[in-house]
Amino acid sequence: MMAVVDKVLVIGGGFSGMSVAIKLRSHGIAVDLVEIDPEWCELGAGISINGASMRALDDLGLYDEVVKQGCVTDGVAIHLAHGPLLMELPTPSPVGSQVGGSGGIFRPTLARIMSKAVMESGVDVRLGCTYSDIKQTDSCIEVAFTDGSTRAYDLVVAADGVHSSVRKEYFPEVPEPEYIGQGVWRAIIPRPESINQVTMWMGHHLKLGVNPVSETHMYMFITEDRPTKEHIDRETWPEVLASLMKQFPNPTVEALIPHIFKEEANIDYRPLANLLVKQPWNKGRLVMIGDTVAATTPHLASGAGIGIESGIVLADELAVNDSLEKALEKFHQRRWERCRMVVENSARLCHIEINGGDKEEHSRIMGQSLKALSQPI
C-alpha cells in the first residue's frame, strides 16, 4: 500500500521530532526537518529509559547503540530516607520484545545517536531555521520559513516542545503548561560499585534517585517541593543541592555529596510542569506530537519515551491507511490513553510526594504504570 503522504515537514529536532523523521524515512516518505537551534545541541544531564522506551528505540534500529553507549539495568530499588529497603519493582522486558527493562544514558549522547540516524536516513535537515507562516489549502500545507524560502507539504508535524510556538499560534485555545509544585535537580557523578540499578530514597517532601548511565558514571535526581515557581541563583546550586542531600542520612547518599561541587557534575535545575492537550491534536494537515501535547513530569521516566512512541505510531499509520483522515484518527486512538496515563499518574505521584502521602501507594502506582507501559503500543 502506498503511503497517504509523499512529503512531510517536522518542526523541532528533539526526541519526538527525530523519531517521526526516522520512522517516516523507513517507509520511504520524504522528510524535511527544521530545528531552530543552529548547534542542534540537546542539553541536560542523564535520562532514564524504561523498557517501553527501549522497545521504541529498538523499533528505530537504535537499541544496540544505546546499549553500547549507555547502561542497561534491571529493577528499581526504593528505600526509606535513612536507608532501609522499602520495596523493589521488577522491570521485565516489555511485551513482544527482548530489550532490557530499564536503563539510562547521557541525554546529549542519546541526542547524538538519534541525530546521526536522522542524517543517515536522508532527512533534509535545516538548522537555525524554523517556520514563519503556515497556510493550509485543499490539497497541501504551505510553509514559509525564516530563511526566506517556501515549500509545500502533505503534512506538518509540530514537535517543538512544551513551549511550542506552533501550539500557541495555531491552537490558541490550549492553556499553557501548569506548574505542578515541584522542581527537579539533576547532576552527573561517578558511579560506586554498589549502584547497579535505578535506586531511590523517599524522604520528607523529597525524593532522591540515581541511575547508571555508563560503566563509570550515573546521574542523580532530586525532586523537591517548591510551592511557587521561583528563580534560584545558579551560583548557589551546589550548596542548595548539598543541603537537600544531607536530608538523606545514609552512607550511600552522604558519600556522593563531595562530587556535586565539581564542575563535571553539570548540575541542572528545572521547575516541573505538565500538559495534556485534549484531542484532536491536529487541525487539518497540521498535527502535534510529543511534549507539544503531552508534557509530563519525570516521575515515571517516560516523557521522552511517549514522545518517541508517538513519532513511531504516527509514521506507521501514515504508511498503512488509505486516507490522511483515517491515519490521523488511528493515531489518536492509539496514543490518547497511554499519554493520559503517563501524565496523570506522574501528577498523582507528584501529589503524594508534596503532601507526604502513602509511600506504599506511591510504589504501587509506579508498579502499575510500568506494567501498563510494557504493553504493546
Q: Write out the chain in H/E/C secondary structure.
A: CCCCCCEEEEECCCHHHHHHHHHHHHCCCEEEEEECCCCCCCCCCEEEEEHHHHHHHHHCCCHHHHHHHCEEECCEEEEECCCCEEEEECCCCCCCCCCCCEEEEEHHHHHHHHHHHHHHHCCEEEECCCEEEEEECCCCEEEEECCCCEEEECEEEECCCCCCHHHHHHCCCCCCCEEEEEEEEEEEEECCCCCCCEEEEECCCEEEEEEECCCCEEEEEEEEECCCCCCCCHHHHHHHHHHHHCCCCCHHHHCCHHHHHCHHHCCEEEEEEEEECCCCCEECCEEECHHHCEECCHHHCCHHHHHHHHHHHHHHHHHHCCCHHHHHHHHHHHHHHHHHHHHHHHHHHHHHHHCCCCHHHHHHHHHHHHHHHCCCC
Dihedral in degrees, nearest 10, Cα atoms 254, 242, 302, 307: -150
Q: Is the pLDDT of residue 356 over 90?
A: no
For residue range 27-70, list pLDDT tens digits in order. 999 999 999 999 998 777 889 999 999 999 999 999 999 999 99
| Residue predicted with more confidence, 78 or 41 | 78
pLDDT, residue 43, reads 76
How far does CA 319 lie from the centroid of its chain? 25
**Rounded distance, CA 289 to CA 12, Å?**
10
Q: pLDDT tens-digit profile of 156-182? A: 999 999 999 999 999 999 999 989 999
pLDDT of the residue at 46:
87
Q: Which band of pLDDT confidence, cut at 50, 70 and 90, is reported for residue 2?
A: confident
Q: Grid coordinates representing 241?
A: 543541592
Residues 335-352 have a mean pLDDT of: 95
pLDDT value of position 274: 93
Q: Left (φ > 0), alpha (ψ -120 to 50) or beta: where does 75 sit?
A: left
What is the grid cell recorded at 289?
Answer: 506530537
| pLDDT tens column, 234-289 | 999 999 999 999 999 999 999 999 999 999 999 999 999 999 999 999 999 999 99
Q: Note the pLDDT of residue 217.
A: 95
pLDDT of residue 180: 92
- Residue (of 2, 3, 8, 6) closest to 282 by Cα position: 8
Neighbours of 228 (CB within 10 A): 7
**pLDDT(338) > 70:** yes
Confidence (pLDDT) at 45: 82
pLDDT given at position 1: 62
Q: At what angle do helices 51-59 and 303-320 cross, to 10 degrees?
A: 40
What pLDDT, on the 0 to 100 scale, is given for residue 138? Answer: 87
Q: In this predicted model, what pLDDT tens digit does every residue of 172-208 receive, in sequence order?
A: 999 999 899 999 999 999 999 889 999 999 888 889 9
Task: For the chain, give the percent of residues with pLDDT over 90.
Answer: 84
Nearest to 120 by CA among 21, 29, 5: 21
pLDDT (mean) for 100-115: 94
Average pLDDT, stretch 307-335?
A: 97
β-pairing, 30-35 with 46-50? unpaired
- Give pLDDT, residue 355: 86
pLDDT in tens, 210-230: 999 999 999 999 999 988 888
